A and B are shown apart, each in its own frame.
Chain A
Amino acid sequence: GNSVTQMEGPVTLSEEAFLTINCTYTATGYPSLFWYVQYPGEGLQLLLKATKADDKGSNKGFEATYRKETTSFHLEKGSVQVSDSAVYFCALQGAQKLVFGQGTRLTINP
């Protein structure tokens, strides 16, 4: 069945550091892929998405490229800010539902 695996957290970085959060998936076909972000005390919000192989999704300085050959969708940001502290979820679109990874908690220290 479809599944998503994210790098284990928590991840702690200093402000302005480079961020990578790894995400790999198992799926039949080529599903759409997503990154969602959850700020403290809130629900999840869509951060970015990619709908086909080699697409790059981007938003708020974050980027992720849909890599069919490595079944990956890693999240990157060149210079993180304290306000990026949150839990990040990778997800893929399955039949009638989204399948989420376990989430990666990111903390950015000033």
Chain B
Amino acid sequence: NAGVTQTPKFQVLKTGQSMTLQCAQDMNHEYMSWYRQDPGMGLRLIHYSVGAGITDQGEVPNGYNVSRSTTEDFPLRLLSAAPSQTSVYFCASSYSIAGVSSYNSPLHFGNGTRLTVT
């Protein structure tokens, strides 16, 4: 009963370093997404995917890349970390975002990765 698994839980990077935040789900969900959570700003969508091989940009995509080679995995890559990317990152998945109400499939969230860029 793993659900959505994010690794690592915490990470400290220096400016300019690169890293990948991992996200995996075992619910055979088509839809996966990445949000960042910042104080006073709620959750903002970075990138999302409606199925393997398909990705699209959200509200704040700059500085982040994603790929979706399998249904289960949706990694988020920071190519050159900046202090403005200090945040808590959440991965979330759903059976189908377009039918989230009709399919009674809410968005399932991982427990987050807290990233600090110095």
Contact = CB atoms under 8 A, between A and B. Distances in A.
Q: Is the interface of A mostly helix, strand, loop or mixed?
A: strand
A9 B92 CA distance: 25
B95 interface: no
B98 A46 contact: no
Nearest to A47: B106
Q: Size range of the interface on A? A: 20 to 34
Interface in B77-107: 90, 92, 97-98, 100-102, 106-107
Contacts, number: 54
User: How large, as a class, is the contact surface on chain B?
Assistant: 20 to 34
A45 to B, nearest CB: 7
Contacts of A89: 42-43
A71 interface: no
Interface of B: 4, 33, 35, 40-45, 48, 50, 56, 58, 90, 92, 97-98, 100-102, 106-107, 109-112
